[in-house]
A = this chain, B = another copy of it.
């Protein structure tokens, strides 16, 4: 037995959810190409696809939407817990707190193939409410009063955040962003959720574990880091000098570039870029987009021969900004979408492949030692 650093290439489960071809830049959910889904489907269809295996018919979609909408009504004490946290709190840690709070009522969570999916759908709804309330808490806004609308997830979520927005293009961008971030096999956050669920802990706690992992800068924070890089550069005229000074000479990492799996363009990044180019019309946004495009060009020229390309997080921040979100919400928005993937993975694992996850460690410490009382040390 020897240690496998980072569990690289160790398979923790089978999955029929997501397949990735990192060489060709292909991402599919249950066999459907990510681009087809992002451009044609409603987010709730994807939730249904991930949980049930097939795209829904009309009546199935209605039922799924109804279950999700029930989740918008989270218990009052959860909202109170969010309000107790400071407005400058980390948004993902606020989500951990809220999910921990929701887990407090789950003393004896009974996993069951019959009921799991309905609970999971409600959790998808609750996540929208929780993230919206976190957004509002961080802006010192009162709790949302709109949360019983079942029509469309993206619209409901944006309404909970901003009040009635009625901007079709922003709702559409939100819908696409959610679909793009739904799942990506078993990164650290999904692995943490699997480990927690393998003890038959409850679904809320499993999501809490995933959030705890997502919070790290090596995982969920990349969109924020890429966007902050654009802000730091400030103007299209500065890109070349910044790149030379920081990346070429300073050996700083180019944020939003490179991926353990993709060795070519990340297909999600291409779609985020299209959304950004199509939608952004304000001056500041256009400036940042031009910075991003110039930076992408330089980065690709420099690194593509090593298989390092822009990843999904490179343009997503610009899309989130266009929709109306500040940078400190980007990782929480990632989590909002990914909760669907986490839930789909833990259900697949617990229902069909369950085994307690218990790896080993290899002992390299001292041999047996005699205890010495403190007086004689």
How many angstroms between the C-alpha atoms of A16 and B362 in the bound complex? 8
With a cutoff of 8 Å between Cβ atoms, the chain B residues found around residue A191 in the complex are: 195, 357-359
With a cutoff of 8 Å between Cβ atoms, the chain B residues found around residue A206 in the complex are: 212
A86 touches B57 (CB 8 A): no
Residue in B16, B209, B355, B360 whose CB lies within 8 Å of A10: B360
Binds B, one of A28-36, A165-173, A266-274, A295-303: A28-36
How many angstroms between the C-alpha atoms of A32 and B366 in the bound complex? 9
With a cutoff of 8 Å between Cβ atoms, the chain B residues found around residue A357 in the complex are: 6-7, 188, 191
Binds B, one of A95-103, A112-120, A150-158: A95-103
With a cutoff of 8 Å between Cβ atoms, the chain B residues found around residue A107 in the complex are: 90
With a cutoff of 8 Å between Cβ atoms, the chain B residues found around residue A16 in the complex are: 363-366
With a cutoff of 8 Å between Cβ atoms, the chain B residues found around residue A369 in the complex are: 30-32
Binds B, one of A216-224, A230-238, A280-288: A216-224
A45 at the interface (CB under 8 A from B): yes
Residue in B8, B98, B186, B215 whose CB lies within 8 Å of A201: B215
* Binary per-residue interface labels of chain A (1-36) against chain B in the complex, 1 for a CB within 8 Å, 0 otherwise: 111111111111111111100000000101111001
Name A332-361 residues within 8 Å CB distance of B. 353, 355-361
Counting chain A residues whose Cβ lies within 8 A of the other chain, the interface size class is 35 or more
A356 touches B218 (CB 8 A): yes
Say yes or no: A14-B361 contact (C-beta < 8 A), given A85-B81, A371-B32, A374-B55: yes
Number of identical protomers = 2
Name A119-154 residues within 8 Å CB distance of B. none
A305 at the interface (CB under 8 A from B): no
A216 touches B201 (CB 8 A): yes
Shortest distance in angstroms between A356's beta carbon and chain B's nearest beta carbon?
5
A74 at the interface (CB under 8 A from B): no
Say yes or no: A185-B361 contact (C-beta < 8 A), given A80-B84, A93-B104: yes
B212 touches A200 (CB 8 A): no
A360 touches B9 (CB 8 A): yes
Shortest distance in angstroms between A207's beta carbon and chain B's nearest beta carbon?
8
A250 at the interface (CB under 8 A from B): no
Residue in B1, B15, B33 whose CB lies within 8 Å of A371: B33
How many angstroms between the C-alpha atoms of A377 and B49 in the bound complex? 13
How many angstroms between the C-alpha atoms of A28 and B368 in the bound complex? 8
A196 at the interface (CB under 8 A from B): yes
Q: Chain A residues in contact with chain B, CB under 8 A?
A: 1-19, 28, 30-33, 36-37, 40-41, 45, 55-58, 61, 77, 80-81, 84-86, 89-90, 93-101, 103-108, 185-189, 191-192, 195-202, 204-206, 208-209, 211-220, 260, 353, 355-374, 377
Given contacts A9-B360, A77-B84, 18 further A-B contacts (CB under 8 A): A5-B353, A6-B357, A7-B359, A15-B363, A28-B368, A32-B369, A33-B371, A56-B377, A81-B97, A84-B101, A96-B96, A187-B358, A188-B195, A196-B212, A196-B215, A205-B211, A209-B209, A209-B213
Q: Which 9 residue pairs of A and B lie closest in terms of their CB atoms, listed nearest first?
A: A199-B216, A16-B365, A96-B100, A97-B100, A201-B216, A89-B104, A31-B366, A6-B355, A93-B103
